Amino acid sequence: MRDALRRHWPEYLIEAVALGIFMVSACGFGALLWHPGSPAAQAIPDGVLRRFLMGLAMGGTAILLIYSPWGQRSGAHMNPAFTLTFLRLGRVKPWDASFYVAAQFVGGLAGVLLSAAILGPVLADPMVHYVVTVPGPSLALAFLAEAAMTFAMMTMVLNVTAGPYAKLTGLFAGALVCSYITFEAPISGMSLNPARTFASALPAMDFGALWLYFLAPPLGMLAAAELHGWLQRPRGCAKYDHKNRQRCIFCGKAAG
């Protein structure tokens, strides 16, 4: 444990900061598009269009983080479900996975708390509600939707990263995030990410469906990993793309 922390702490810190930035973006755009006093919310009454704009914002944020030098260094998992799936595939060592998951939870929460300190009652307004992920009327349908979305996301990542278009993986991931928020959010709240949901749920003190987001995304991604292994697809690493100058703590690639 100490050796992993001593050698890989920069990557752990990057994971925390990356999800923190993602949550600051989510809170900021959530307030902009949904707070009743926001000029943008007043000018865009159509819910689908608002969700599309939110999707563009969050998909774009994910893409910028993935392709940033820090994201290229850590792999920009930003999601415990991703990290645990790569652990299951043997692409991440147990201590690295443990510190990644812990960093993601801490970083996501820090991002929401920072946003709350800046936005105050705007973020706490019931229409924004700390951008909590809330399932639709059917918990069963919400569970299936979260599992299906994460299954599709991980299937894409595992197949694209192992092929000639690995550099485009981040763009595909951002496009999926955008489409999920636009069309699926009313069904499950569109989380995909236990740490993202926890980061909003704790300040909002809204834990009603937390179990759903802790179970469905990991199950969906793990199912994709099992299918990937069963089909004997090409192996890869726990990064979207290795063609950069950053070191890789997963396979030992040196920087430069």
256 within a domain of the structure (yes/no): no
Q: Which runs of consecutive H residues, i.e. helices, occur in the chain?
A: 2-34, 39-43, 47-67, 69-74, 80-88, 94-119, 121-124, 139-161, 169-183, 185-188, 194-204, 210-230
237 within a domain of the structure (yes/no): no
82 within a domain of the structure (yes/no): yes
Residues in CB range of 165: below 8 A, 6 or more apart = none
Measured CA to CA, the distance from residue 102 to residue 113 in angstroms comes to: 17
222 within a domain of the structure (yes/no): yes
> Residue 230 corresponds to which tokens in the numbers above?
């069963």
pLDDT at residue number 243: 74
pLDDT at residue number 196: 98
243 within a domain of the structure (yes/no): no
CA nearest neighbour of 132 among 206, 68, 63: 206
Question: pLDDT by residue for the chain (256 residues), tens digit each?
Answer: 777 778 899 999 999 999 999 999 999 999 999 999 999 999 999 999 999 999 999 999 999 999 999 999 999 999 999 999 999 999 999 999 999 999 999 999 999 999 999 999 999 999 999 999 999 999 999 999 999 999 999 999 999 988 888 899 999 999 999 999 999 999 999 999 999 999 999 999 999 899 999 999 999 999 999 998 888 766 778 888 777 788 888 887 766 5
Measured CA to CA, the distance from residue 56 to residue 58 in angstroms comes to: 6
pLDDT at residue number 126: 96
Q: How many domains does the chain fold into?
A: 1
246 within a domain of the structure (yes/no): no
Measured CA to CA, the distance from residue 11 to residue 16 in angstroms comes to: 9
Is 0.85 surpassed by the pTM of this model? yes
248 within a domain of the structure (yes/no): no
For 24, the domain range is 2-230
9 within a domain of the structure (yes/no): yes
Q: Looking at residue 87, which CATH number applies to its domain?
A: 1.20.1080.10
